[in-house]
Amino acid sequence: MRNSIEKRRQKLINKLIAFNMYKEEDQKLYQSSLSKLEFEYRKFQAQYHPHGEFSSIQWS
């Protein structure tokens, strides 16, 4: 289970870096919990989704 959590954390870290929300050398990113990373990613999705202003598509 620990391995799957770590894989999920790394996947979110990679996405947040790819979307230029964080820099790769930002240590705060690597020290964040899974729940914090998920929150940051959902916040990004809500803010930058192309249909966000119309509420036509809901991210889960």
For residue range 10-54, what is the model confidence (pLDDT) as tens digits?
Answer: 999 999 999 888 899 989 989 999 999 999 999 888 887 665 555
Domain residue spans of the chain: 1-35
Residue with tokens 């990613």: 41
**What pLDDT, on the 0 to 100 scale, is given for residue 9?**
95
Cα-only R_g, the chain:
13
- 26 to each of 8, 15, 37, 53, 55, how far by Cα in Å? 18, 14, 13, 30, 32
Give me the pLDDT at residue 45, please: 85
Model pTM score: 0.73
